[in-house]
Amino acid sequence: MRYPFLVSVLIVLIFSILGGCGDDDCPTNSLPGQEKIVGTVMTTSGPVAQAHIHAALAQAGAPGDYISASAGTDEMGHYSLPVPPGSYKLSVSYDGSHRFWYSDTGPKVSSDFADTIKIAAGSYSTTADFIFGAIKYTLQFPQELEGESLRFYAESAQEGLLLVNQYSAPQLGERVITFDFVPPGRYIIRVYVGDCGSACRNLFWLPATIDRAMADEIQVDPLELSSREGVIPPACHLKGAVDPRWSELLEGQSRFQLKAYGPDSALIAQQYVDNDSRFDIPIFAEGRVRLKTILLDYPHWVGGDNFFEADEYILISGASVPVDSITIGGILFHVVENETLCINTFKYVLVDHAGNSIVSGGNYQHTPTLLQSLAPGDYRLFIYWSFPSLWRAQWYDQANSGEEATSIVLDSEGDIENINVTLEKGGAVSGRILDSSGMPADGSSMIVRVLDTGWVFRYYWETADDGSYHLEGLPDGRLIIGIEHRPPEYARITWYPGTDDENAAEFITLNHAEEITGIDFQRLPPEVPMSPVRATGGD
């Protein structure tokens, strides 16, 4: 080679060009263990300091594989979050606001829509910026809202999620509501009037509508302030009264609550009646509502059986809308004991004269049961339990069958019947059962069939470890008792005194809630061979 010096200089220049840029001019690979996510949090008012950034593994692996890291932003809104290699979802929150998730199309309100950030070992720093817009709403308020507290929410127009909220202290006149931390997208403004800690008195959307579909959509773009102006009109007042007889029957222990629902079944307003059973519900928006009353947790739609059949009331700002006196008929019954024994809960079925079930349910013993909105007619009431009880099931009033039951008659629309259902102790049968090998038939379900009424009691009782049983709360009359077989013959029953033919079973007669003892018998041997491994006792 003729010019070794020139060749050496050329090699040095090439390496200088490839590797000589400074830290500010070109990136360099991180060393393993130095990977990180960096970025900026910005709103229309500038960088956001002290925002909290959190990264967590996008998919959790085996127990112990969960990794999370967090960092705060500096005065320029910058953050730097060291993380080990992996796939992450990144979120930001600020000053107690909603948590937002990173996406390259803008922050998202749910992690379901977040991007997954993949960090490889020795990779460059990955950038993830959170850029927000803002909403400013200037509102004029009526004098009626003086002293009221309000809460405003920016609600996503499509998903219906409440993203950010702004509290407004009681004041009068003009209020400026600002949302500074809003992801790009389309929003509507939801307004609550009153203390939302217990129950908001009023709900509407801007510009003052109870129909969500009519709310004004606001487009929010990155680093852009979207401004609106509006007026909340004087309230429309729904005024009326609810049947006072129920409060009188309940001796003031419970009052009616009125609930108003908008076009999309959204709860718009609610209020309890006063001591005179009257109500005056202010609603600060126009539209159409339907009313529902609640008493003792029992609902009643005004004018119909459901939301769609209920009467509609048209709201007009500043006007009073009269509601005809709400008359509600039905049956109020109380379950009482003739001894100091507590049953706690019970179940009931109300049937009409033809035996068709009209309404059924359950309740606590010491809570009155309200069966309202019943048409005029002849009804019968059946009380029973889904667990063993000393009290026998009965048709009101202390009857064994629907034919013997006392009728509860509502002569006309709006009639009310107030009755007491007095419980009676039932009879009892006890004894001991052995399996076919002579061992105690322990832990097996017993079954009772009442021949006179057709009632069947099953899964109430099981035999004890020594094969003994005690069946209680039984009605008077003829009954047969049996014991279930073990799998695979669990559908087979041995009836007293030792037959699997129900028609051949020997009946036992109970009179005046007596107790019969010594009804012992033996379970039949299995028809299907059992496994060599046997449970303790049983076939």
Tell whether 281 and 220 lie within a shared domain.
no
Question: What would the mean pLDDT of 323-330 be, rounded to a whole number?
Answer: 90
CATH number, domain with residue 487: 2.60.40.10
Task: Give φ, ψ of 150 to 5 degrees.
Answer: -130, 155
Verify that 40 and 97 share a domain, yes or no.
yes
pLDDT for 50 equals 93
Q: What is the mean pLDDT of the chain?
A: 84
**Per-residue pLDDT at 533:** 42
Q: Is the pLDDT of residue 456 over 90?
A: no
Q: Name the more confident of 22 and 333.
A: 333
* Mean pLDDT computed over 48-61: 83
295 and 336 in a common domain: no
Q: What is the CATH number of the domain that holds 204?
A: 2.60.40
- Percent of the chain exceeding pLDDT 90 equals 53
User: Domain end: 390, 407, 422, which one?
Assistant: 422
Domain that holds residue 313: 236-322
Rounded distance between C-alpha atoms, residue 292 and residue 301, angstroms? 4
Cα separation, 193 vs 269, in Å, equals 9
Model pLDDT for residues 158-203, shown as the tens digit of each residue: 877 777 677 776 566 678 889 888 999 999 999 988 765 445 578 9
pLDDT at residue 14, rounded to an integer? 36
Position with higher pLDDT, 445 vs 69: 445
Q: What is d(CA 345, CA 384) in angstroms, rounded to the nearest whole number?
A: 10
* Order of strands across the sheet that contains 225-231: 174-182, 133-140, 225-231
pLDDT at 367 over 90: no
Cα 331 → chain centroid? 28
488: region left, alpha or beta (phi > 0 left; psi from -120 to 50 alpha): alpha
529 vs 366: which has the higher pLDDT: 366
Q: Are strands 369-372 and 185-193 parallel, antiparallel or unpaired?
A: unpaired
% of the chain exceeding 70 in pLDDT = 86
Asked if residue 83 and residue 42 are part of one domain, the reply reads: yes
The two tokens of residue 418 are: 């107030």
Positive or negative torsion for Cα 28, 29, 35, 39: positive
* Range with the poorest average pLDDT among 13-17, 43-47, 129-133, 224-228: 13-17
Asked whether residue 168 is domain-assigned, the answer is yes
Query: Could you give the number of structural domains in the chain?
Result: 5
Please tell me the distance from the alpha carbon of residue 391 to that of residue 393, in angstroms, as a whole number: 7
Q: Confidence class of residue 430 from pLDDT cuts 50, 70 and 90?
A: very high
For residues 349-354, give the mean pLDDT. Answer: 93
pTM of the model: 0.71
The average pLDDT across 296-307 equals: 89
The CATH number of residue 127's host domain is 2.60.40.1120
Nearest-CA neighbor of 511 among 479, 480, 481, 477?
Answer: 477
The Cβ-side half-sphere exposure at 41, using a 13 Å CA radius, reads 29
Other CB atoms within a 10 A radius of the CB of residue 501 amount to: 8
Q: How confident is the model at residue 400, as a pLDDT?
A: 84
